[in-house]
Amino acid sequence: MKLKDKVIIITGASSGIGKAMAYEFAARGANLVLGARQYVTLCEIAQDIEKQHHVKALAVQCDVSVEQDCRALIKQTHLTFGRIDVLINNAGISMRALFKDVDLQVLKSLMDVNFWGTVYCTKYALPEIVKTKGSIVGVSSIAGYKGLPGRTGYSASKYAMNGFLDALRLENFNTGVHIMVACPGFTSSNIRNTALNKHGNQQGESTLEEDKMMTSEEVAKTIADGLENRERTLIMTFQGKLTVFLNKFLPAFLDKQVYKVFAKEKQPLLK
What DSSP string describes the chain? ---TT-EEEEESTTSHHHHHHHHHHHHTT-EEEEEES-HHHHHHHHHHHHHHH-S-EEEEE--TTSHHHHHHHHHHHHHHHS---EEEE-----B---TTTS-HHHHHHHIIIIIIHHHHHHHHHHHHHHHHT-EEEEE--GGGTS--TT-HHHHHHHHHHHHHHHHHHHHTTTTT-EEEEEE--SEESTTTTT-B-TTSSB--S-SS-GGGSEEHHHHHHHHHHHHHTT-SEEE-SHHHHHHHHHHHH-HHHHHHHHHHHHHTSSS-S--
Q: Which of 220, 25, 191 is nearest to 113 (CA)?
A: 191
Label residue 127 left, alpha or beta by phi (over 0 means left) and psi (-120 to 50 means alpha). Answer: alpha
Q: Which of 50, 53, 62 is nearest to 14 (CA)?
A: 62
The catalytic site residues sit at 154
Angstrom distance (rounded) from CA 222 to CA 24: 10
